[in-house]
Structure 1
Amino acid sequence: MSDNFENLRIMVIDDSKTIRRTAETLLKKVGCDVVTAIDGFDALAKIADTRPHIIFVDIMMPRLDGYQTCALIKNNSTFKGTPVIMLSSKDGLFDKAKGRIVGSDKYLTKPFSKDELLDAIREYRPAA
């Protein structure tokens, strides 16, 4: 299977400008259309307009954390099928379990590598 990431809309939700910029740069290089959000509220405002294929969400964010954001996305009938991949600097079993409970599809530990990011997209991208 060739790596064709073109026309793939990816949302990256993280309160860290560095993480957003890093992920955005990586993903744009492989052809993805990238939408970024600074927190859960920002993301929820953008999801309906942008309809991302895959969403990466940081867990530790102000106002609305990654768990709450994921739960809100998964509880929405339009977006419940959208893969949500949690990003966290914590690699604890509890955090991963909590992520599963709110409906996340995968869990990546920060700092993530380019390969981890792309592998997660390969795993969850919609069939062409």
Structure 2
Amino acid sequence: MQESVIDKTVVQEPLAGQFAGGVANPLQPGSRIILAESDDLCRKRMQGILEDQGFKVFSVADGFELICRIPEWRPDILMASVDLPRLTGPQVCALLQQCPDYQHLPIFILSHGDRHNQNTAFELANCGADGVLSSPFSTEDLSAILAPSVAE
């Protein structure tokens, strides 16, 4: 993954418009995204941004509900906060990596950079996520992580 710094925000983007394992970026208007964020204001803001870009967004407030909703909502991508209750974003990612039906599902972790500690950084580096979006971030940062091939 290549890393770019935007106004103290670190956005890790997949290379060459691909997600982990060489899976091509499947996102286009109408793609389904599950957004898991425990902060109501942040979740609503992100959902609005994503819907304005033409995505169908399902939102949840914890990692356990995210896992439970995957079969019903059949997402094209997951976005999960690092500090979700019940199951954290990295824990969700690690669980899905073990499931053959979902191990290629693109997962992005939403990280709150000011709350990082050494354990969180280690967990993020080893959970198998396709990318990490650190806050604070802009609409452009969110768009960039979802459509890495646009810049090519």
**Same fold flag (TM > 0.5):** yes
Distance 1:118 1:85 in 2: 12
Question: Who is 1:57 aligned against?
Answer: 80
Equivalent position of 1:81 in the other structure: 104
> In structure 1, what residue type is equivalent to 2:105?
T
| 1:87–1:109 contact (8 Å) kept in structure 2 | yes
- Superposition RMSD in Å: 1.9
Q: How does 1:12-91 map to 2 (within 5 A)?
A: 12-90=35-113
Deviation at 1:97, TM superposition (A): 4.2
Between Structure 1 and Structure 2, whose CA radius of gyration is higher?
2
TM-score by length of 2: 0.72
Superposition pairs for residues 82-101 of structure 1, below 5 Å? 82-90=105-113, 94=118, 95-101=120-126
Report the CA distance between 1:76 and its aligned residue.
1.3
Residue by residue, what CA displacement relative to the aligned partner does 1:7-62 show, whole Å, maximum 9, x if unpaired? 21111101111111011100111110001111111101111111211111101122
What code does the residue aligned with 2:106 have?
Answer: P
For structure 2, which runs of at least 5 residues remain unmatched after alignment? 1-26
The share of aligned pairs that are identical, in percent, is: 26
Give aligned pairs, total. 121
CA contact (8 A) 2:36 2:84 kept: no
Matched-pair contact (CA < 8 Å) for 1:5–1:30: no
SS at match of 1:47: helix
TM-score, L = length of structure 1: 0.84
Q: Is the 8 A contact 1:55 1:82 kept in 2?
A: yes
